[in-house]
A and B are shown apart, each in its own frame.
Chain A
Amino acid sequence: MRTAIAWFPRPGSESIRSMMDGKERWAGGLTPTPEARTAFYILCMLCLAALPTLANEPLPPGPFTETECITCHTERDPNLIRQWREGSHSVTSGVGCHSCHGKNHKESAIKARKDQICTGCHEGAVSHIYSTSKHGIITRLEEARQDWRQPLQRGNYRTPGCSYCHLHNGDHGNTMAPDRGPETRQWICAGCHSPRYIREQFGNGKRQLEIADLKLKEGESLIASAVDDQAGALSKLRKSLNHHRHNVLLGIGHQSPDYQWWHGQPALDGDLIRIRDRILQSSRRKSLADNLEE
Chain B
Amino acid sequence: MPTPDVCGNCHAKQHDEFRDEARYGFPSHVLAMERAVDAKHFVDKPKAEVQSCVQCHSVATKCDSCHSRHRFDAAEARRPEACITCHSGPPHPDDETYLASAHGKLYLAEGDSWDWSKPLTKGNYKAPTCAYCHMDNGRHQVAEKSLWKFGLREINPHTSKNQVLRKKWVKLCSDCHEEEKASQWLTELDQERKQAWQKLYAAEAILKNLRSEKLLQPPAGERPPYPMDWLDTLWPRERIGFFEGQASVFYNVSAIERDYFEMWYFDNLGAYKSAAHGNPAGVEAGHRKMTASLDRIETQANELRELSQAEKKAEITTKPSADLWMKGAYTDYNREHN
Contact = CB atoms under 8 A, between A and B. Distances in A.
A239 interface: no
Interface SS of A by simple majority: helix
A287 interface: yes
B108 to A, nearest CB: 11
Contacts of A261: 52-53, 89
A134 B83 CA distance: 10
Nearest to B116: A141
B307 A284 contact: yes
Given A266-B251, A274-B258, A257 B329 contact: no
A272 B324 contact: no
Contacts of B85: 132-134, 137, 256-258
B52 A288 contact: no
Contact of B46 (A211, A277, A281): A211
A277 B254 contact: yes
B234 interface: no
Interface in B146-173: none
A215 B330 CA distance: 5
A158 B258 CA distance: 42
Nearest to B48: A207
B81 A218 contact: no
Q: How large is the interface on B (under 10, 10 to 19, 20 to 34, 35 or more residues)?
A: 35 or more
Interface string B70-105: 110000100101101110111100010000000000
B333 interface: yes
Given A207-B48, A280-B217, A221 B328 contact: yes
Given A134-B85, A257-B86, A266-B250, A210 B48 contact: yes
A211 B337 CA distance: 11
Contact of A270 (B88, B258, B310): B258
B76 A141 contact: yes
Q: How large is the interface on A (under 10, 10 to 19, 20 to 34, 35 or more residues)?
A: 35 or more
A167 B260 CA distance: 44
B55 interface: yes
Interface stretch (B121-129, B196-204, B287-295, B313-321): B313-321
A85 interface: no
Interface of B: 46, 48-49, 51-53, 55-56, 68, 70-71, 76, 79, 81-82, 84-86, 88-91, 95, 112, 217-218, 250-251, 253-256, 258, 262, 303, 307, 310-311, 314, 316, 318, 320, 324-325, 328-331, 333
22 contacts: A132-B84, A133-B85, A134-B85, A204-B51, A207-B48, A211-B333, A214-B333, A215-B330, A218-B331, A257-B56, A258-B86, A261-B53, A262-B90, A262-B91, A270-B258, A270-B262, A272-B251, A273-B258, A274-B258, A277-B254, A279-B324, A288-B311
